[in-house]
Amino acid sequence: MAEPAEVRLELEDIQSGVLRPRPTPYASTYIGLRIDDAKAGRELIGRVSKVVTSAANPSSPLADTWVSVALTYPGLKALGVPPSSLDSFAWEFRQGMAARAKELGDTGESGPENWEAPLGATDLHVVLVAVSPDEKRLEEVLARARMAYAGMRGIKAILRQDCHASPTEKEPFGFRDGISHPAIEGSGIPGTNPKERPFKAGEFVIGYIDEMGTVQKTEPALLGRNGTYVVFRKLHQRVAEFRRYLKANSTNADDEELLAAKMMGRWRSGAPLALCPLHENPELGADSHRNNDFLYESDDAAGLHTPGGSHIRRTNPRDASIAGVARIHRMIRRGTAYGSMLPEGTLEDDGVDRGMMFDFVGAHPGRQFEFVQTQWVNDGVFFGAGKDKDPVIGSNESNSSYTVPRKPVRRRLQGLPRFVITRGGEYCFMPGLKALQ
């Protein structure tokens, strides 16, 4: 039987930020708006639709600069969307991130009671994100974004967050980020792992067939079609503490780097342990044709190269034998750093707030983001490591541990602290352009 023709994605109706990897380097600003008046809110959305860029025409000169818009559930309500329609959105989105805190591991210092206002509060309604390859062009894109709400009564800007990515893509702990991206059928944008089959578009965009053979729909269908969900989290990183932990648990500088790589699954350059288990390889790390070209099972079922509990293997086990099907938990990430970097070699905290604005994009926030965060990041049962959490981003407590498989005996690290603190976040819906209009 002939293979079914590839699905055609309506790129001109999908927001640019959904499918297109952001530029490197990169500068962006998040603007959070509150709608105090439904009529003004609807006018705002109409104006926003004129400044938002679609995923079509990747060769246009504007392709690297764009404005995205997303709405929270309270935002849809503030616009007057009727209950029958509201009920057709994903359950997790309707709950909001603060209500899901316990499940997500956002407790204690990371709990919503300690989040930065207005994150997690019901008055954050609309999030605009201006994206550009540099600060200079960011000003132009920001001006475009501001045009959508400037001078409007009933609309108030209540949040601003600046983010950036350096040319080396190093996040605050010092690892190259932005490497592994899935390919999506019909998007024309390639993935980064040649060994990973492209995903059905419905995994990432509402209104198309997904990996389970189902199509997500909202009421009315036009409202959701070509839209998706976005999860953003402001994650503070305790960089000095991370460095001190590596030092305290290593015998020399090389050993420190090996331990860091065993926790992440990649060396700081981005070179994967799967392809160079014994030493750093900056050339491989920077080579986008090779640095994500691997699977785990045939060479490393026991995790002697890439530990099963390392950040990249547990958040995307690829072909590793685990309970369940890894493909239905895959996500698009668009994370970027905020705050200045801690100077190299410094082991004391300088009091600067720095970390990652983590961005998830996907049509199934429950089985994608929430599943990975709750079952894979904050639990180790799925790959046989009991209660061990992600050593880099898990909600670890002072008695947490981490296992590095090794011969003849495994290495068991104890007293792993929590290196990443949640400062807040939200579940949003990113509509298609027609829905905005």
| Interacting residues toward ligand HEM by CB under 6 A | 171, 173, 175, 177-180, 235, 237, 264, 266, 311-312, 315-316, 331, 333, 355-356, 358, 369, 372-373, 377, 393, 420
Nearest distance in Å: CB 377, ligand HEM: 5
Where do runs of H (alpha helix) occur along 296-344? 297-300, 311-315
Tell me whether residue 264 or residue 322 sits nearer to ligand HEM (CB atom). Answer: 264
* H-type alpha helices, 214-328: 221-224, 239-248, 253-264, 282-286, 297-300, 311-315
Q: Which C-beta is closer to ligand HEM: that of 7 or that of 421?
A: 421
Q: Which is nearer to ligand HEM, 41 or 308 (CB)?
A: 308
Q: Choose among 9, 118, 101: nearest CA to 58.
A: 9
**Contact predicate 436/76, CB 8 Å:** no
- Phi and psi, residue 176, nearest 5°: -70, 130
Q: In this complex, which beta carbon is closest to ligand HEM, that of residue 147 or of residue 183? A: 183
Give me the least distance between CB of 379 and ligand HEM, in Å please. Answer: 12
CA quadruple 214, 219, 225, 228: dihedral sign: negative
What is the smallest separation between the CB atom of 329 and ligand HEM, expressed in angstroms?
9
Question: Shortest Cβ distance from residue 371 to ligand HEM (Å)?
Answer: 9
Answer whether 51's CB lies under 8 Å from 67's CB.
yes
Return the ∠ at Cα 164 (arms to 231 and 171), rounded to 5°. Answer: 80
Given the DSSP bridges, would you call strands 26-35 and 155-165 parallel, antiparallel or unpaired? Answer: antiparallel
Nearer to ligand HEM by Cβ, of 274 and 433: the residue is 274
Tokens found for residue 390: 């992600």
Q: Which is nearer to ligand HEM, 96 or 105 (CB)?
A: 105
Instruction: Give least dist CB 46 to ligand HEM, A.
Output: 34
Residue number with CB closer to ligand HEM (202 or 355): 355
Number of H helices, E strands in the chain: 15, 11
Q: Residue 290 Cβ, how far from ligand HEM at the closest point, in Å?
A: 13
Element (H, E) at 430: strand 420-430
Least gap, CB of 154 to ligand HEM (angstroms): 35
